[in-house]
Amino acid sequence: MTNQTIDIQLLKALSEADGIGGREKEVSRIVKAYTQPYVDDLFYDALGSLILVKKSTQKNAPKVMLSAHMDEVGFMVKEITDAGYLKLLPVGGWWGHVMPAQEMRVTTVSGEKFVGVIGSRAPHGMPTDEKNKVIPANRFYLDLGVASAEAAKDLGIAIGDMVTPHTMFREMNDPDFLLGKAWDDRVCVAACIEVMKNLASSELAVDVYFAATTQEEVGIRGARTAAHQIKPDLAIALDVTTAEDTLFDQGGLTLGGGTVLSVLDSLTIGNPGLVAKMEELAFEQQLSFRHDFMTVGGTDACNIHKAMKGIPAMTLSIPTRYMHSSRLVIHKEDYRQTIHLLCAFLNVLSASDIREFKESAGGFPSGD
């Protein structure tokens, strides 16, 4: 186990904040408030990604990009019916089985919030084949408990408003287990904040750019624009991965076993030298780690590693139960060890290491 202190209030604030793709402002302001005291500079790109910078004491130091996305899966109001129901459009991937009768929260343009419930049907008399069908995510509606469209509009609700799960963060019966919404990817946003905080007084051989990115769940868009803004020499994406330690899914990653090194996913092959360096440091630091081969889905690393002339990149992951639902579960130890490993890596990273990472993928340093 590591000695990394857990800032519960940071995790609570990020989990409970609302921010679907293209609507991440509430989240970015939390990131800014927590991180600004520990960085040398910060700025936004035109898609709303927040980029925070820890400068090296060395001139012309290589740039390392850390990336974790702020957006969560959710919905957008696409229609207000005469009876006051809100028809919803999914923003990100949802499985219909997890949605009926869930509480959701509408955030208006002015920032006011109203809670409703996803409509469902009573099973009494329903044909068996109907019971077994998955409701398509684009057929869901929200019941606000109002009687007309006018009543909904009087609340300030309008077409295009953001709709997100109404889920309160909490430590579970074993307080190492944390329940909340949006752990995909707010737990990794929190981890990057802690890394920047821990590195604030360190003298590094690299400039560290933490990009809290937008619109990952709808096409990994913010990572692309942030990478072109930063022009990094090396990149590490942080994202969640699927835990397979429940009665539905067994035999894979478990909660509490340490950080996860992604060797590949469906959109990115991790730089082999970079993965090997992470393995070496994990052994040195006596940290637990696992490998992941995720054949479905991807992370910010997908669009970062293809930017400019190509960027050595990999993903560090934190296992998560019940991904893309209203309530997800993570473990404090995986969070702690991910922060520990990343801090250890950045404290020893040098320009020569980055050249070796490029060579490990078959490339050559500039001028060779």
Residues with a catalytic annotation lie at: 216
Q: CA dihedral in degrees (351, 352, 355, 361; nearest 10)?
A: -120
Can you read off the two tokens belonging to residue 209?
């750019």
Write down the H helix ranges in the chain: 8-16, 25-35, 128-131, 149-154, 183-198, 221-230, 272-284, 301-304, 332-348, 351-360
For residues 255 and 321, is the Cβ–Cβ distance under 8 A?
A: yes
Q: DSSP letter string over 105-122?
A: EEE-TTS-EEEEEE----
Comparing CA positions, the residue from 294, 297, 226 lying closest to residue 262 is 294
Angstrom distance (rounded) from CA 185 to CA 14? 10
Angstrom distance (rounded) from CA 228 to CA 264? 23
Q: DSSP letter string over 106-170?
A: EE-TTS-EEEEEE-----TT--HHHHTSPPPGGG-EEE-S-SSHHHHHHTT--TT-EEEE----E
Angstrom distance (rounded) from CA 310 to CA 312? 7
Angstrom distance (rounded) from CA 139 to CA 147? 20
- Report CA-CA distances (Å) from 64 to 60, 61, 199, 225, 230: 12, 9, 13, 16, 9
For residues 328 and 295, is the Cβ–Cβ distance under 8 A?
A: no
Instruction: Tell me if residue 249 falls in helix, strand or coil.
Output: coil
Angstrom distance (rounded) from CA 45 to CA 175? 37
